[in-house]
Amino acid sequence: MAKQSKKQLLLAVSSLGMGNLASSIFSFCLSLYTLQKTGSSLVFSTILLINPVIKLLFTPLVGYTVDKYHHKKIAIGAQLVSIVLDVIFLSLIELLSLNEQILLIALAVIGLSLADCFQETSYKASTKSFVAEEYCQKLIGYEQVVTAGTAILAPILGGVVFSWLELNWVTIIELIGEVVSLLLISMIDFYLVEQRQSSHLSSIKESFKAGINYIRQDKNLLDLLLFAVFANFSLGSIEVGLPVIMVKQLKLGSELYGMTTSCLAMGMLVASLFLSKLNLNGAYLGFTGRNGVVLSIIFAIFAFIELVENIYLITFILGLGMFLIGGILTMSNLPFAMYLRTQVAEDYQGRVGSTMSSLVSLLSPISFAIFGLLFNTLASLWIFSFCGIILLIDSLFLLKNKHTS
- The phi-psi region of residue 345 (left if phi > 0; otherwise alpha if psi is between -120 and 50; otherwise beta) is beta
Helices and strands (H and E) in the chain: how many:
15, 0
Which comes out higher in pLDDT, residue 47 or 371? Answer: 371
pLDDT at 273: 80
> Do residues 95 and 68 share a domain?
yes
pLDDT at 386: 93
Chain-wide mean pLDDT for the chain? 82
**Which residue in 361, 364, 330, 333 sits closest to 152, CA to CA?**
330
Tell me the mean pLDDT in the region 352-381. 80
Residue 25 has pLDDT above 60, yes or no: yes
> Do residues 21 and 125 share a domain?
yes
Residue 195 has pLDDT above 70, yes or no: no
> Do residues 33 and 137 share a domain?
yes
Q: Where would I find the H helices in 246-379? A: 254-275, 284-303, 311-342, 349-374
pLDDT at 111: 92
Per-residue pLDDT band for 107 (boundaries 50, 70, 90) equals very high
Which comes out higher in pLDDT, residue 2 or 30? Answer: 30
In CATH, what number is assigned to the domain containing residue 10?
1.20.1250.20
Q: Which of 200, 225, 244 is the last residue of a domain?
A: 200
> Do residues 322 and 349 share a domain?
yes
DSSP 365-397: HHHHHHHHHHTTTS-HHHHHHHHHHHHHHHHHH
The span from the CA of 289 to the CA of 346, in Å, is: 26
Residue 225 has pLDDT above 90, yes or no: no
Is residue 230 within 8 A of residue 299, CB to CB? The reply is no
Is residue 161 within 8 A of residue 173, CB to CB? The reply is yes
Tell me the mean pLDDT in the region 215-236. 87
Residue 271 has pLDDT above 90, yes or no: no
Per-residue pLDDT band for 370 (boundaries 50, 70, 90) equals confident
The span from the CA of 310 to the CA of 298, in Å, is: 19
The span from the CA of 12 to the CA of 131, in Å, is: 10
Q: Which of 200, 219, 250 is the last residue of a domain?
A: 200
Residue 233 has pLDDT above 60, yes or no: yes
Residue 365 has pLDDT above 90, yes or no: no
Tell me the mean pLDDT in the region 287-308. 90
The span from the CA of 164 to the CA of 167, in Å, is: 10
> Do residues 222 and 366 share a domain?
yes
Residues 6 or more apart in contact with residue 57 via CB below 8 angstroms: none
pLDDT at 297: 94
Residue 276 has pLDDT above 70, yes or no: no
pLDDT at 192: 74
pLDDT at 392: 94
The span from the CA of 302 to the CA of 169, in Å, is: 42
Q: Which of 138, 173, 200 is the last residue of a domain?
A: 200
Q: Tens digit of pLDDT for each residue in 156-173? A: 788 788 888 888 999 999
Q: Would you give the DSSP letter of residue 198?
A: P
> Do residues 164 and 71 share a domain?
yes
Which residue type sits at 102? I
> Do residues 21 and 154 share a domain?
yes
Tell me the mean pLDDT in the region 329-347. 82
> Do residues 34 and 162 share a domain?
yes
Q: Where are the beta strands (DSSP E) in 116-259?
A: none
Residue 404 has pLDDT above 60, yes or no: no
The span from the CA of 175 to the CA of 22, in Å, is: 8
> Do residues 195 and 214 share a domain?
no
pLDDT at 201: 59
The span from the CA of 17 to the CA of 149, in Å, is: 9
> Do residues 304 and 384 share a domain?
yes
Question: How many domains does the structure of the chain reveal?
Answer: 2
CA angle, 307 then 313 then 317, to 5°: 85
Q: Tens digit of pLDDT for each residue in 108-153? A: 989 998 998 888 888 877 777 777 777 777 887 788 788 778 877 8
Range of the domain at 141: 2-200
Residues 6 or more apart in contact with residue 228 via CB below 8 angstroms: 332, 333, 336, 356, 360
The span from the CA of 328 to the CA of 276, in Å, is: 15
> Do residues 183 and 219 share a domain?
no
Residue 177 has pLDDT above 80, yes or no: yes
Is residue 178 within 8 A of residue 22, CB to CB? The reply is yes
Q: Specify the 3-state DSSP secondary structure of 250.
A: coil
The span from the CA of 111 to the CA of 348, in Å, is: 25
The span from the CA of 248 to the CA of 209, in Å, is: 46
Residue 198 has pLDDT above 60, yes or no: no
CA angle, 370 then 374 then 375, to 5°: 120
Q: Tens digit of pLDDT for each residue in 116-128? A: 888 888 887 777 7
Chain centroid, CA 141 distance in Å: 14
Tell me the mean pLDDT in the region 268-281. 76
pLDDT at 402: 65
Q: Would you give the DSSP letter of residue 95?
A: G
> Do residues 144 and 234 share a domain?
no
Q: Specify the 3-state DSSP secondary structure of 40.
A: coil
The span from the CA of 329 to the CA of 264, in Å, is: 10
Residues 6 or more apart in contact with residue 360 via CB below 8 angstroms: 225, 228, 229, 232
Length of the chain, please?
405
End-to-end CA distance of the chain: give it in Å, rounded.
31
Tell me the mean pLDDT in the region 256-262. 75
